[in-house]
Chains A and B, each alone.
Chain A
Amino acid sequence: MIQDKILDIEQSVIGKSSSPWAKEGNDIIFTYVGMSISLIYSLLSFNNITSEEGTSVKAIIFAILVFLATFLAVYLTVTTILKLSFRKNPATTLLGIISAWIIYLIVSGFGHFALIDADWEVVWANRVLVIVGQLMTESLTQSYLPNQSWRLWSVLYLTFAVISAAYGTTGDKPYKFLVPFTIFCGILIYIAWNPTAINYNSDEPVMKLIGATILSYISFGLSYYYCSKNEEYKANKLRSYLALSSVFIFFFAVFIMNPPEAVQELCADIFGISSSENIQLTRCGGVEASQWGGIFVNLIVATAGCVLGFGVGVVLAFGRQSELPFFKYPSVALIETVRSGPLICWLYFAVFLLPDIIDPFMDLEDIMRMLLIFGLFGGCYIAEVLRGGLQAVDSGQKEAALALGLSPMQTKLQVELPNAVRTTLPSIVSVFIGLWKDTTLLFIINILDFFKLAKDLPNTSPGYLGDFLEPLYVTALVFWIFAFYLSRISMRIEKGLGLTNEGGGEAA
């Protein structure tokens, strides 16, 4: 039984045996010979590594990984030679062996870096900095600054609540959400829990994270209960409310981080802070946009790209579709101009030239202008995607809407747009993924986003000098995780909508 399975797997990787000596019956003997040769060789390499790198836990893990990879590669190679498998189907054999050796190279090369060479302390010690930025970190540990972290916590609470409520409406089995989410929150709590740093009170963030987790459980439970008890249309209504509230969270985050001065003063009056004090140094002060930092900046800029971009995209897509030249030509001009240049052109535009144009209106800070330009840039790409969807809307839909007596505006917003969004949602999500990845470009214009902070980490302490690669790999991992998560969502939507035969969006 096991022999058959081993042979099956082996044949699927390097093809069938084609030598005169290895036939149906004694095939397995040659496999065992190959395995034992490979085992001896890889045990030798295991021994080699442990004698070279010592017997610390990391070295042992590394040695085991290399042992496995070596075993696979050598075993496949030796067996191929013993059985002459390459004679019948050289392409498959070659692919299998090359893949095995590539895996060996990656494991031995990257594993050596990750487990032996690297000093991950540089990122671990600065993890609060890369998440919330310089000012927030300081205000967590220093007493001369007011603790403004509640602004971020309020945004986090809302986000968690809305996301978990949204998962509640999907109608999946509860454990499909609860298990990964609990693991995710566990990791977050582990990251927040730090007994060693001076002056850093780790109880507070841990308790707040636990609170956020419980809040999400509750909101998940409520929405799950609501959706399972009610009709489908009510669940749909809940979904649209949740979508609206995620838009609201974006504006709320921008507002709560740096409220307008009138609100700050009102707040100071309520809390009885005398006007002689500098309002910026009190809890009512708000955090100026230039002081934002860390992954929060990436998230808020990417969200701006999605939220503002979707609004701009809808307007421009309808503008481009319109028969009236007053709407059509300006939309085409705007879309084509913005799409003609790469994003960093527009980032420079936003930094150097946009202030000239909007200066008399308002004096925005860099990050605020980034929000605007990401919205515009994302909007133009979403407009192009939506246009494809709008063109694919069945004309019968429009005619039916007209026959029902809907006005042109109602037809557009209530009939055409939902149809177009439905077919193009996967492409829209891929635009969102692109925007999320593009937020790393903010470092070029000296905005202290995750990437910028991470790549400057080696300079924070003499002990970390020269550790350039570790923060970069962590950055890549963090951005990868978010993008991967979004791409899974996109695939899920694609599957759920059953769009394979409808078309409309770009397939890329």
Chain B
Amino acid sequence: MSRDLSFGGVQQNIAYYSIESLILLVGGFLLISFLLVQNEFSNLFQSSNNLVSSGKSNKYDIFLNMYLWIGVFGILSILENGSYSVLAVFTALLKGSSLGLFCGLFVGFLFRGYYSSLFAMIMFVISYFLVPMLNLSTSGIMFFLVGGSVLTSFLLIQNNLANIFSKDFISDYRSFQTYIGEYISIFSIILFAIIAFNISMIPILSDNLISILSIILLINVTYWSINLSQEQFKPSVQQHRSAAIVFMVLLPLLLYLLLRFLFLLNHPDTVMRNRWELAYDFMAQGNTFKVNTWPFEVFTGSDSRWLFYKAAIINSARVTLLSIFLCTILGIIVGVTRLSSNKLASTLATAYVEIFRNLPLAVLLFLIATQIGHKFPLFSEEQDLFGVIYYSNQGIWFTTVADHSRIFFGLMLLGLVKIMMRQMSRVEPRKVDDSKRNLIQRPFHVLGWKIEPLVSDLLVLISIFIFVVMSYPFFTSATGGLSCIMGVLILIYSLLVFTNVDDSGINEMVIDDSEKGLRKSFIIWTLSVAVAIGIAISSGFSHPELIKPSLTSTGSWYFVEGKGFEITPAFTAMILGLTLFTASVVAEIVRGSIQALPRGQVEAAISLGLSPFQRLRLVILPQALRSMIPLLNNQFMNVWKNSSLAIIVAYNDVFYQFLVMANNVGKLIPLFLLLLITYQFGSLMISAIMNWFNARVTSVKI
């Protein structure tokens, strides 16, 4: 079939789509719009319980389950495809499930008697298979596409397709007066078909196609808006026709956007096509610019762009996570200080909040980065604190322990001590909820109230260990994605078991807060922290080593790799900026939540003789947390999005990577979509974790 679509002497199909794909895309778009406006498909998605009332037998209900159609066709399509790479499976799933959706809708419309939607689907199928075979003239095809969309909007607003197939109309077709609308619809369809075949013989129409169709559209819009403003129809019809008239008004814009996107996706100019073509093969090629990432270091030339992107995501994530952690702490301190009776401190906290909340983050980051460059000593005049921390405007170098895994072991020891302390203060529960007593949700329930919580605590600790060990390669090297996912799953499962045990009420504890008990726990904690520190530093320290090949030229100086611990100025500036800014908002949230608590809570705590710190930790904050978390969730997502401002301080985050890659390869749209997906995914992760936490906090009713 010819891809030539010249019209009025001008080639209209410069992107050279075949006629089939043009009809598929434009027709598909029109079909989707038709179904959306007609709004009959949503009935098909309702649960099958409603089907019984429609009078059909239950035997065939299974064919009317849309999800089944989509699922079966999706799986069939994956199996038929045979290739199991992520992208191929995804594409196959998409194709299969849309085919499944189509077939399911078709069957559903047929059996439920939604004839207008059915008619649209049949028309789509007919035009897709028949029109390429009919050898229409080029202007005929133009008319078919553009005029077809006008006809679609016209039929939508007429809203009487279903009546044409009804028994009333067929038996009583002679009463012209009653069925004038239906006759107009039929007439317009027939007229459309006739013109599509014979348009070459009507030069007036074929020469001024667009203007004539626009006039028709305009007349229709005017007529129907006058008609609609008189409100003479039933509310449901009125609503449907309002949607249809909006579609009619938007039709030129929508068609323009559709055709423009189609054009851009297959642009004849190579540069433009490069920019818009949705293909990700360039990501597998080697990258050509240098970035500064940690802990996963990537190298120019040898590593692919995917790896660079992964390293950048890790970079973004660590700046976000650390800022979230710090801004929560700072925000709670400032928020509580604002409410303190100490006038000086509360004024200072208010000033902090008002100053940082109203500063633009971009200016703040720029200011901090410049200030660091100004205030910190030059590299040649580097200074140190006690020989442990070296700082200059090139970065901060710490002395650190030689073996970082020892720190982890120390922390594990502390976790073990915590579990032991919990076990010691555990008492027999008064009421146990045994509704979740199965092997998956509570695998250790046979062990009884004394041992089961202990085992579930230990399970969490062990799975943290497993998670760290299994995900370590993912964060430091090119591979390890699968084992990282496994680690995450194990961690999630252990947390699930832990929360189930907790929810069942067998995790009841009585904490000994008498003088003697406090002293005992203090001694235990001091000892175990000392032991943990001992474990951490048992392998010795690692000092930053500055090498000065030429004493006069500071450009030749460098620190030895792997010795000490470096924080770059960009990272410092990012952390400072994000933390200071977000902490001011978090402080407001904390203040608002605390102020929303009933006054009686604080008074009761005072009358119980709790100290101010105990009041805060045991009574106020746990209750304020309930209203804080949803708002904090929002702010944490903002931190994640604001981390994109790293470009201001030249920190190599996702957005920076996107920008440099876009400059290098010019693949703007694929990269842009990737970027949006990355940010959306991060937001969803934060939101999921916070929602889980929220559910935990609010599960206790007060």
Give chain A's interface residues, CB within 8 Å of chain B.
Answer: 9, 12-13, 89, 91-92, 95-96, 98-100, 102-103, 324-327, 329, 336-337, 340-342, 344-345, 348-349, 352-353, 356-357, 360-361, 407-408, 433, 437-441, 443-444, 451, 455, 468-469, 472-473, 475-476, 479-480, 483-484, 487, 506-508
Known A342-B679, A472-B366, A472-B367: A479·B360 in contact at CB below 8 Å: yes
**B128 in the interface (beta carbon within 8 A):** no
CA distance A451 to B242 in the complex (A): 46
Known A324-B39, A342-B655: A357·B264 in contact at CB below 8 Å: yes
CA distance A100 to B345 in the complex (A): 8
Q: Is there an interface contact between B243 and A326, defined as CB atoms closer than 8 Å? A: yes
Q: Is there an interface contact between A341 and B612, defined as CB atoms closer than 8 Å? A: no
| Most A CB within 10 A of own CB, among B36, B342, B363 | B363
List 19 extra interface pairs beyond A357-B261, A439-B360, A444-B362, CB under 8 A: A9-B343, A324-B39, A324-B243, A326-B243, A336-B680, A342-B644, A352-B668, A356-B264, A408-B239, A437-B359, A437-B361, A438-B360, A469-B367, A472-B367, A479-B359, A480-B358, A483-B360, A484-B354, A508-B631
Encode B154-190 as 1/0 by CB contact (under 8 A) with A: 0000000000000000000000000000000000000
Q: Is there an interface contact between B260 and A476, defined as CB atoms closer than 8 Å? A: no
Known A12-B341, A103-B348: A480·B355 in contact at CB below 8 Å: yes
**B344 in the interface (beta carbon within 8 A):** yes
Q: Is there an interface contact between A473 and B243, defined as CB atoms closer than 8 Å? A: no
Q: Is there an interface contact between B370 and A444, defined as CB atoms closer than 8 Å? A: no
Known A360-B260, A508-B588: A13·B344 in contact at CB below 8 Å: yes
Residues of B within 8 A of A433 (CB): 358
Interface stretch, picked from B450-458, B600-608, B669-677, is B669-677
Residues of B within 8 A of A91 (CB): 612-613
Q: Is there an interface contact between A326 and B36, defined as CB atoms closer than 8 Å? A: yes
Q: What are 12 A-B interface contacts by the 8 Å CB criterion? A: A12-B341, A13-B344, A103-B348, A340-B679, A341-B679, A342-B641, A345-B675, A345-B676, A356-B264, A356-B275, A361-B256, A451-B360
Known A324-B243, A437-B361, A479-B359: A348·B371 in contact at CB below 8 Å: no
Residues of B within 8 A of A342 (CB): 641-642, 644-645, 655, 679
Closest to B637 in A: A339
Encode B329-373 as 1/0 by CB contact (under 8 A) with A: 000000001001111110010000011011111111011001100
Q: Is there an interface contact between A345 and B33, defined as CB atoms closer than 8 Å? A: no
Residues of B within 8 A of A438 (CB): 360
Residues of A within 8 A of B649 (CB): none
Q: Is there an interface contact between A476 and B364, defined as CB atoms closer than 8 Å? A: yes
Residues of A within 8 A of B612 (CB): 89, 91-92
Q: Is there an interface contact between A99 and B345, defined as CB atoms closer than 8 Å? A: yes
Q: Is there an interface contact between A326 and B359, defined as CB atoms closer than 8 Å? A: no
**B276 in the interface (beta carbon within 8 A):** yes
Closest to B267 in A: A356
Q: Which 8 A-B pairs have the closest CB atoms?
A: A483-B358, A340-B680, A437-B360, A342-B641, A95-B345, A326-B36, A440-B360, A342-B644
Residues of A within 8 A of B585 (CB): 508
**B143 in the interface (beta carbon within 8 A):** no
Closest to A405 in B: B231
Residues of A within 8 A of B42 (CB): 325
Q: Is there an interface contact between B363 and A353, defined as CB atoms closer than 8 Å? A: no
| Candidates A337, A341, A356; contact of B675 at CB < 8 Å | A341
CA distance A476 to B275 in the complex (A): 37
**B659 in the interface (beta carbon within 8 A):** yes
**B399 in the interface (beta carbon within 8 A):** no
CA distance A480 to B354 in the complex (A): 9
How many residues on chain B are close to A (CB under 8 Å)? 72
Residues of A within 8 A of B655 (CB): 342, 344-345
Q: How far is the CB of B299 from chain A (nearest CB, A)?
A: 27
Q: Is there an interface contact between B343 and A487, defined as CB atoms closer than 8 Å? A: no
Q: Is there an interface contact between A96 and B344, defined as CB atoms closer than 8 Å? A: yes
| Most B CB within 10 A of own CB, among A102, A360, A408, A508 | A508
Closest to A12 in B: B343
Known A100-B344, A340-B676, A455-B366: A326·B39 in contact at CB below 8 Å: yes
**B592 in the interface (beta carbon within 8 A):** yes
Q: Is there an interface contact between A345 and B672, defined as CB atoms closer than 8 Å? A: yes
CA distance A468 to B375 in the complex (A): 12
CA distance A444 to B374 in the complex (A): 22
CA distance A100 to B342 in the complex (A): 11
Residues of B within 8 A of A407 (CB): 231
| Candidates B41, B243, B679; contact of A345 at CB < 8 Å | B679
Residues of A within 8 A of B659 (CB): 348
**B396 in the interface (beta carbon within 8 A):** no
Residues of A within 8 A of B363 (CB): 440, 451, 472, 475-476, 479
Q: How far is the CB of B482 from chain A (nearest CB, A)?
A: 27
Residues of B within 8 A of A340 (CB): 676, 679-680, 683
**B257 in the interface (beta carbon within 8 A):** yes
Known A91-B613, A407-B231: A506·B634 in contact at CB below 8 Å: yes
Closest to A485 in B: B358
CA distance A325 to B45 in the complex (A): 13
Q: Is there an interface contact between A487 and B358, defined as CB atoms closer than 8 Å? A: yes
Known A326-B36, A476-B363: A353·B243 in contact at CB below 8 Å: no
Closest to A102 in B: B348
Closest to A95 in B: B345
Q: Is there an interface contact between A95 and B337, defined as CB atoms closer than 8 Å? A: yes
| Most B CB within 10 A of own CB, among A95, A408, A455 | A95
Q: Is there an interface contact between B359 and A476, defined as CB atoms closer than 8 Å? A: yes
**B498 in the interface (beta carbon within 8 A):** no
Q: Is there an interface contact between B647 and A92, defined as CB atoms closer than 8 Å? A: no
Q: Is there an interface contact between A469 and B370, defined as CB atoms closer than 8 Å? A: yes
Q: How far is the CB of B163 from chain A (nearest CB, A)?
A: 21
CA distance A475 to B631 in the complex (A): 29
Q: How far is the CB of B636 from chain A (nearest CB, A)?
A: 12
Q: Is there an interface contact between B344 and A99, defined as CB atoms closer than 8 Å? A: yes
Q: Is there an interface contact between A451 and B362, defined as CB atoms closer than 8 Å? A: yes
**B476 in the interface (beta carbon within 8 A):** no
Q: Is there an interface contact between A337 and B358, defined as CB atoms closer than 8 Å? A: no
**B293 in the interface (beta carbon within 8 A):** no
Known A472-B367, A508-B635: A345·B361 in contact at CB below 8 Å: no
Q: Is there an interface contact between A484 and B358, defined as CB atoms closer than 8 Å? A: yes
Q: Is there an interface contact between B342 and A357, defined as CB atoms closer than 8 Å? A: no
CA distance A96 to B344 in the complex (A): 6
Q: How far is the CB of B376 from chain A (nearest CB, A)?
A: 14
CA distance A408 to B239 in the complex (A): 9
Residues of A within 8 A of B344 (CB): 13, 95-96, 99-100, 103
| Candidates B41, B246, B342, B361; contact of A13 at CB < 8 Å | B342
**B19 in the interface (beta carbon within 8 A):** no
Closest to A329 in B: B36
Residues of A within 8 A of B354 (CB): 484
CA distance A103 to B343 in the complex (A): 13
Residues of A within 8 A of B648 (CB): 444
Q: Is there an interface contact between B231 and A326, defined as CB atoms closer than 8 Å? A: no
Q: Is there an interface contact between B33 and A326, defined as CB atoms closer than 8 Å? A: yes
Residues of B within 8 A of A475 (CB): 363
CA distance A487 to B635 in the complex (A): 18
Closest to B644 in A: A342
Known A327-B243, A508-B588, A508-B589: A95·B36 in contact at CB below 8 Å: no
CA distance A340 to B343 in the complex (A): 42
| Candidates A344, A357, A444; contact of B257 at CB < 8 Å | A357
Closest to A9 in B: B343
Q: How far is the CB of A398 from chain B (nearest CB, A)?
A: 13
Residues of A within 8 A of B631 (CB): 506-508
Residues of A within 8 A of B261 (CB): 357
CA distance A438 to B361 in the complex (A): 8
Q: Is there an interface contact between B366 and A99, defined as CB atoms closer than 8 Å? A: no
Known A345-B672, A472-B363: A96·B345 in contact at CB below 8 Å: yes
CA distance A472 to B635 in the complex (A): 26
Residues of A within 8 A of B371 (CB): 469
CA distance A357 to B672 in the complex (A): 15
Q: Is there an interface contact between B39 and A325, defined as CB atoms closer than 8 Å? A: yes
